[in-house]
Amino acid sequence: MKLPVVPDAERDLVINEMFGPTFQGEGPSTGRYARFIRLFGCHISCVWCDSAQTHDQRRYDLAAEQRIVSIEDVLSWLSGGPAGLVVITGGEPLLQPRVVERLVNAIRERQLATDIEIETSGTIAPTALIASAVTRFNVSPKLAHSRLRRHQRIRPTVLKDLTASGKASWKFVAQDVDDLDEIQELVSTYDLHPVWVMPEGTDSTTVLARMRVLADPVLAHGWNLSTRLHTLLWENDRGR
Ligand SMILES: Nc1nc2[nH]cc(C(=O)O)c2c(=O)[nH]1
Ligand code: SF4
Ligand SMILES: [Mg+2]
């Protein structure tokens, strides 16, 4: 795997967008007042990626999709609103570990968030400092329908490190009931808990239809079901 695709600077982040307040739309904190920092860059490319502007040069003008923002500017943006949940997503935020380390520690020091979550694909291990500063990793290991090869999407040592952090929730993106077998195999092999199953989809009709198909089978597995609240509310609007 070739790493990294973005420079990992000390004081500057490569950002795609900062947005909010909005609601955390996915996973265990769904519905919470949240602000988002979407970092630029991803080293893998899922066919159905909903944030392809962070890395897909065939579909986007990547020069126009990235900007260099200092940690100070991010902190000053955050200080303009009430402390709540801050979500760092991407792209793959763990491609910029040194600056993310500084960012999350500064957010904590200045009490600019009540909680910090990192959305990650589970293919890059977090540093110990990042793991100690965040509230939770929403880890989304990819299934075969991402069309990535298994070694690209499943990194056993990384899954182990994330489990060892004690802060991982496992949010699997599913298209169909058949995907639950694949999730079960990963859950059993790598002992992943708690499990959240989230429908793949970037419009409210698809999200709701897939949730309805998945709901009872997810319950039968004893797992949690996530919606994509921002999609139900605002469809595929950027910055929501
Ligand atoms: N509202 C909202 N919630 C989200 N949770 C995870 C998101 C992501 O793009 O990683 C996301 C997003 O893009 N918007
Ligand atoms: S890991 Fe996430 S950001 Fe990267 S291609 Fe897959 S869905 Fe998109
Ligand atoms: Mg999104």
Contact 177, 217 (CB under 8 A): yes
Tell me, letter by letter, the H, E, C secondary structure of the chain. CCCCCCCCCCCEEEEEEEEEEEECCCHHHCCCEEEEEEECCCCCCCCCCCCHHHCCCCCCCHHHHCEEEEHHHHHHHHHCCCCEEEEEECCCHHHCHHHHHHHHHHHHHCCCEEEEEEEECCCCCCCHHHHHHCCEEEECCCCHHHCCCHHHHCCHHHHHHHHHCCCEEEEEEECCCCHHHHHHHHHHHHCCCCEEEEECCCCHHHHHHHHHHHHHHHHHHCCEECCCHHHHHHCCCCCC
Residue 46 has pLDDT above 80, yes or no: yes
Confidence of residue 6 (pLDDT cuts 50, 70, 90): confident
**pLDDT of res. 205:** 98
Q: What are phi and psi of 6, to 5 degrees?
A: -130, 150
Contact 51, 90 (CB under 8 A): yes
Q: What is the pLDDT of residues 195-227, one digit of tens each?
A: 999 999 999 999 999 999 999 999 999 999 999
Instruction: Write down the ipTM of this complex.
Output: 0.99
Q: What is the pLDDT of residues 229-240, one digit of tens each?
A: 999 999 999 999
Best of 26, 42, 46, 231 for a ligand 1 pocket test (most atoms within 8 Å of beta carbon): 26
Contact 235, 203 (CB under 8 A): yes
Q: What is the pLDDT of residues 76-98, one digit of tens each?
A: 999 999 999 999 999 999 999 99
Work out whether strand 12-23 and strand 67-70 pair parallel, antiparallel, or are unpaired: antiparallel
User: What percentage of the chain has pLDDT greater than the value 90?
Assistant: 96
**pLDDT of res. 207:** 99
Q: For ligand 2, is residue 187 a contact (CB within 6 Å)?
A: no
Domain residue limits, the chain: 12-170
Tell me which residue has tokens 């299934």.
Answer: 143
**pLDDT of res. 152:** 98
CATH number among 3.10.450.50, 3.40.50.300, 3.20.20.70, 3.30.360.10, domain 12-170: 3.20.20.70
**pLDDT of res. 1:** 61
Confidence of residue 121 (pLDDT cuts 50, 70, 90): very high
Distance 238 CA to ligand 1 centre (A): 10
User: What percentage of the chain has pLDDT greater than the value 70?
Assistant: 98
Tell me which residue has tokens 């293919």.
Answer: 123
Nearest residue by C-alpha to atom 4 in ligand 1: 25
Averaged pLDDT score across all residues of the chain: 97
Model's pTM, two decimal places? Answer: 0.97
Confidence of residue 4 (pLDDT cuts 50, 70, 90): low
What is the average per-residue pLDDT within 108-137? 98
**pLDDT of res. 2:** 63
Contact 226, 196 (CB under 8 A): yes
What is the average per-residue pLDDT within 175-195? 98
Nearest residue by C-alpha to atom 6 in ligand 2: 46
Determine how many CB atoms are found less than 10 A away from the CB of residue 229: 18
Q: For ligand 2, is residue 100 a contact (CB within 6 Å)?
A: no
Contact 117, 29 (CB under 8 A): yes
What is the average per-residue pLDDT within 150-168? 98
Q: For ligand 2, is residue 92 a contact (CB within 6 Å)?
A: yes
Atom number of ligand 2 nearest to Cα 121: 1
Residue 171 has pLDDT above 80, yes or no: yes
Residue 7 has pLDDT above 90, yes or no: no
